[in-house]
Structures are given as C-alpha cells and as structure tokens.
Chain A
Amino acid sequence: MQNLDYFFIIQAWPLFLKGLWVTLYLTFWANVAGLIGGALLALCTTGPYRLLSAPAKLYIEFFRCTPALVQIVWFFFCVPILFDVFWSPIFMGVVILGMNLSAFNAEAFRAAIQTIPRAHVDAAVALGLTPFERTAYVIMPQALRYAIPVLITNGIGLFQQTSLVALVGVDELMYNGRLISTSTYRPIETYTFLVLFYLAVSIPIGRLAAFIEARSDRALKA
C-alpha cells in the first residue's frame, strides 16, 4: 500500500471550495425550481382539468421512471442541438436538476393535497372563497406543511445528485475532485476527502431539516 499523504489537499483547497460553491449553487436553485415546479405540477394533477392533468402526469412519470444520469446526458447533448440554445453549463444543470426534482416534489405535494379533508374544501366554498383563494389560502399552506418531510428528503437527495452533472462538464465538487485526483495522482486521498466533504454538508442540512419538520408538525396537530 502506498503512503497516504493528505497534505496536498491544502494546495487543492481553493479548487475544492470553488467546486463546493457550484454544488451548493446548483442545489439551491434546483430546489427553488423544484419546489415551484412541483407545486404547479401537483396542482395540475389534482385539479379538475384533464388538459392540464394528463400532460403533468406524463411529465412526472417520465422523470420518475428514467435514470437521472440519462436525463442529464440527454439534456446536455440534445437540447442545445434540438432547440438551438446555448446556456452556461451551470444554468443547464440547474434546469435539468430542477426539472427532475419537480417530478418527485410533485408527488410529495399531490400526496399532501390528498390528505387534506374534503370537508375543508366544502367549508372554503361555503365561505365564498374562489377556487384560486381556496388553493392559495387553504389547500397549499396545509399541503406544504404535510409535504415538508418528503420535500426535505428530496432536496438532500438532489444535493447528492448534483455530482452527476460532473459528467457533462459542470465544474462542481465532484468534477473538481476528479481534476485534483488526476493531476496529483492521489485518488485515494482526494476521493476520501470528497466523501467527507459531501457528508460535512449533508449532515447539518439533515439536522436542520429535522428541526424544521418537528416545528411544522407541532403547527399542524389537528
């Protein structure tokens, strides 16, 4: 076994940090997109309009039933050619990761919307709320609280999935890690450090999530 040397990491530190920054950037914006997209998709699937619900269901099935890596590769290679658009790799990453997360979050929202008692909707109608007002003030605020545990799980999952876009040249944490490992010939140290890096971010986010979850649980005890 070769001698392990972790000191070179100090030199590679800026590159790691740059990668981490991109990873967090991707995670944040893809989650923003995924929350909005997921909520809209869930409203389409649970709503009364077939013209909206059928394509939304198809979208969700498509993204849930194909590997994320395949989606990413397809998106990066085919979309620029098919639609003649050239976006920065990071923006492309945000879009495709956000599209993927939207499908999973849509299912979380749909399940949450369906746990809201039918009687609440009746009461909202009896109070004269319009369909939009019912959705905005009665259904979605409750659904969001019910969905929080799954949304957070999905969000943390996405943080890990951002590593997939390294394959198509987005210089996030994984990509930079590979760069470091090949340029220093120190794969064991680099990848070990990489795993620790992901852990060091995931665990605090998970803890924070559990805390938020506990708080929203208290607010919804009916």
Chain B
Amino acid sequence: MTVLQPFVWGRSMADHFLKIRGLEKSYAMGVIKVLNGLDLTMTSKDRLVVIGPSGGGKSTLLRCIMGLENIAAGAIDINGEPYIGADNGATRIDRRIQKQIGMVFQSYTLFPHLNVLKNLTLAPVRSRGVPRSVAEDRAREIMRRFGLDQKLTAYPSELSGGQKQRVAIARALMLDPKLMLFDEVTSALDPELVSEVIAMIIELADGGMPMMIVTHDMWFARRIATRVVFCAGGTIAEDAPPEEFFARPTSQRARDFINNVLHANAEPA
C-alpha cells in the first residue's frame, strides 16, 4: 500500500476517532507532572482547538498524540484500535497508526540542506517507497493548490517564515494524514505573515481534515474550532463549542484565562 492511496479507517466508530484515557506524562523522573490523567475524545468531524495557560500541557498533549513522548500512564486509541499505551514504564506505539498522523511545529522544521521539493518528497520516497516521479508530481500538485509552486526549487533559507510554515504543512500533507496536529504554528511568525498560514489551515479544515490545534490566537480559535478544550494543570478543565466557550466559560480558570487574553488583545501593551 502506498501512502498516496487513501487509508480506510475503521468503518463505524466515528465518535471514537481519537480516544485518550488517563494520559499521564511527567518530566524530571516524575517530579514535574505535565499531564495528569487527561481524558479526551474526538470524532472524525471535529476540529479541536486546545487553549490554556503555558505549562498547562497543551503542547505535550499534541506531542504525546504524535508519539514523540514517552508516557507514564494511560492510553490513546484511534478508531478503536490501541495506538499508544504505557506498559511497565515503556511506551508502546503502533507505528502503522502513527504514520497516519501529521504534525507541524512552532519552530521551523524544514530541513535546511534540502530544497522545498526534496523536503516534500523525502519521507514518501525514502521511507514509504513511493516512486520519486509519483512523489514529485504530488508535491507539485499540493504546492500549486496552495500557491507555492514558484518555490519548489528554493531552499528553506530563501523563504519567509510564513512560507516555511506553509511548506511544512504541505510536507505533512504529502503523507496523506488522517489527522493533523498544529502546535502553535503561527507563534513564531511576524504578525503580517500569520494570515497566510491560517488561511491554509482553514482551507484544509473546509476540506474536512480532522485536526487538533494549539493556539494563542483567539480569533483563529473561534473561526476554526468545532470544539474548544481548555487545558490547564494537565487535564481538560473545560470542553465546549466555541460560541459557548467564549461566551460562558463555566470554570473559573477558563474565565480568568479568557478575560486575560481578550484584555491583552483589546489593549496591546
């Protein structure tokens, strides 16, 4: 099976697309607990925006779902299949399922020694056995779709921050992911470059891509989310549709957070 053919997830189970149970993660030999028995489910129709104070575990949550972290306890299932589990201190990861998930990071992660086309085709060609010509055709198609086809032979150092992040998203799309994770992808960008990246993510969302987004941009959160979850103290403190969440947060912590953020947005220092 090549990655270019659509992967068929389990037939039913749409409401258990992603199911996280009792996820625990700590650093420094268990001294610092970042995730504290976190439970979360997501359907394949969901676009989940994760917001919350820094240190609350948002990024760690995404990194755990991507399989970048060892977990202390808990499990993640995808479509009813066990994906990640803790097993006597070891973390079991089903690599086959991991390959169906794409992630884009806050810092620029394009490989600087490869041009854009090579960045896009590296994983399909070297890791998934897609013929180079097929992968390059797909790269051109994706880049054209997002208006980046002028940049195929450019090196990452020749791109703006916004272009780098858009290429990073395109690189993840090359592998035909069934779930996209965005970890503060606009936080490192100059303000005038944010909108082009957000536009690309919105276009993906409109195409029906399930996604989980960590962001501090409340406008973006409101625009794209089908659900907003408030992550603080290593658990989900609140989980609601965006209208409801921003209008009437039920927990005190979420209320404080929103007040602070909206206040900061209204009156920039």
Which residues of A have CB within 8 Å of B127? Answer: 127-130, 133
CA distance A221 to B107 in the complex (A): 16
B142 beta carbon closer than 8 Å to chain A: no
Which residues of B have CB within 8 Å of A206? Answer: none
Which residues of A have CB within 8 Å of B63? Answer: 122
The distance from the CB of A73 to the nearest CB of chain B, in whole angstroms, is 42
A128-143 to B contact mask, C-beta < 8 Å, 1/0: 1110010001100110
CA distance A18 to B24 in the complex (A): 69
Which residues of B have CB within 8 Å of A141? Answer: 113
A48 beta carbon closer than 8 Å to chain B: no
Which residues of B have CB within 8 Å of A137? Answer: 122, 126
B87-129 to A contact mask, C-beta < 8 Å, 1/0: 0000000010011011101011101110000000011001110
CA distance A123 to B66 in the complex (A): 10
A119-B112 in contact given A126-B66, A137-B126 (Cβ < 8 Å): no
CA distance A222 to B155 in the complex (A): 9
- Determine if B67 and A219 form an interchain contact, defined as CB atoms under 8 angstroms apart: no
A65 beta carbon closer than 8 Å to chain B: no
Which chain A residue shows the least CB distance to B181? A126
The distance from the CB of B95 to the nearest CB of chain A, in whole angstroms, is 7
Interface residues of A in 86-126 (CB under 8 A from B): 117, 119-120, 122-123, 125-126
CA distance A137 to B128 in the complex (A): 14
Which residues of B have CB within 8 Å of A123? Answer: 103, 105, 109, 111, 168
B68 beta carbon closer than 8 Å to chain A: yes
Which chain B residue shows the least CB distance to A139? B111
A145 beta carbon closer than 8 Å to chain B: yes
B156 beta carbon closer than 8 Å to chain A: yes
Which residues of A have CB within 8 Å of B155? Answer: 219
B157 beta carbon closer than 8 Å to chain A: yes
- Determine if B66 and A138 form an interchain contact, defined as CB atoms under 8 angstroms apart: no
- Determine if A122 and B109 form an interchain contact, defined as CB atoms under 8 angstroms apart: yes
The distance from the CB of B165 to the nearest CB of chain A, in whole angstroms, is 12
A220 beta carbon closer than 8 Å to chain B: yes
The distance from the CB of B187 to the nearest CB of chain A, in whole angstroms, is 13
B175 beta carbon closer than 8 Å to chain A: yes
- Determine if A127 and B172 form an interchain contact, defined as CB atoms under 8 angstroms apart: yes
The distance from the CB of B96 to the nearest CB of chain A, in whole angstroms, is 10
CA distance A127 to B125 in the complex (A): 12
B150-187 to A contact mask, C-beta < 8 Å, 1/0: 00000111000000000010011001000000000000
Which chain A residue shows the least CB distance to B168? A123
- Determine if B172 and A220 form an interchain contact, defined as CB atoms under 8 angstroms apart: no
Which chain A residue shows the least CB distance to B122? A137
Which residues of A have CB within 8 Å of B171? Answer: 127
The distance from the CB of B114 to the nearest CB of chain A, in whole angstroms, is 8
Which residues of B have CB within 8 Å of A127? Answer: 122-123, 127, 171-172, 175
- Determine if B126 and A120 form an interchain contact, defined as CB atoms under 8 angstroms apart: no
The distance from the CB of A184 to the nearest CB of chain B, in whole angstroms, is 53
CA distance A159 to B206 in the complex (A): 63
- Determine if A138 and B175 form an interchain contact, defined as CB atoms under 8 angstroms apart: no
A128-B95 in contact given A133-B126, A133-B127 (Cβ < 8 Å): yes
Q: Given A117, A125, A129, which contacts B67 in the complex, CB threshold below 8 Å?
A: A125
Which residues of A have CB within 8 Å of B175? Answer: 127-128
- Determine if B123 and A142 form an interchain contact, defined as CB atoms under 8 angstroms apart: no
A128-B99 in contact given A122-B109, A145-B113 (Cβ < 8 Å): yes
A222-B112 in contact given A117-B107, A137-B126 (Cβ < 8 Å): yes
- Show 10 residue pairs from A and B whose CB-CB distance is below 8 angstroms, ordered by the A residue: A117-B109, A119-B105, A119-B107, A122-B68, A126-B66, A127-B171, A129-B127, A221-B157, A222-B112, A222-B157
A contact residues vs B (CB 8 Å cutoff): 117, 119-120, 122-123, 125-130, 133, 137-138, 141-142, 145, 219-222
5 residue pairs, one from A and one from B, having the closest CB atoms: A123-B109, A127-B123, A126-B103, A128-B99, A221-B157
